[in-house]
Amino acid sequence: MGLNSDISEVITQLDKIITSAEGRWLNISDYNLKSKDRKNMKSVYGLIHNILHHSDDGQRIIDRTHKDNLDFLYRKCADHVKNLG
């Protein structure tokens, strides 16, 4: 899988979490989507971080994403959340 696949997978999970859809990995009530603080684990960045580190069938997205691409991935996913609201 490539970077675009990883971004798509994170965005899919973000959409499921925000809409409380079936198959979501986390609950929206644990996060404040208005907070953009990278150090706050209850912010948008914390939500993205937790999605990246969630183990689905023994594999985490973070394990297959090159660390040089993480800033881009976070930015694209945070922009997606910003555009939703």
Per residue in 8-61, pLDDT (tens digit) is 999 999 999 999 999 999 999 999 999 988 889 999 999 999 999 999 788 899
Q: Of 11, 9, 5, whose CA–CA distance to 76 is shortest? A: 11
Alpha carbon separation from 68 to 3, 8, 71 (Å, rounded): 11, 18, 7
pLDDT at 42: 95
Instruction: Give 55-82 pLDDT, tens digit per residue.
Output: 978 889 999 999 999 999 999 999 999 9
Question: What is the pTM (predicted TM-score) of this model?
Answer: 0.91
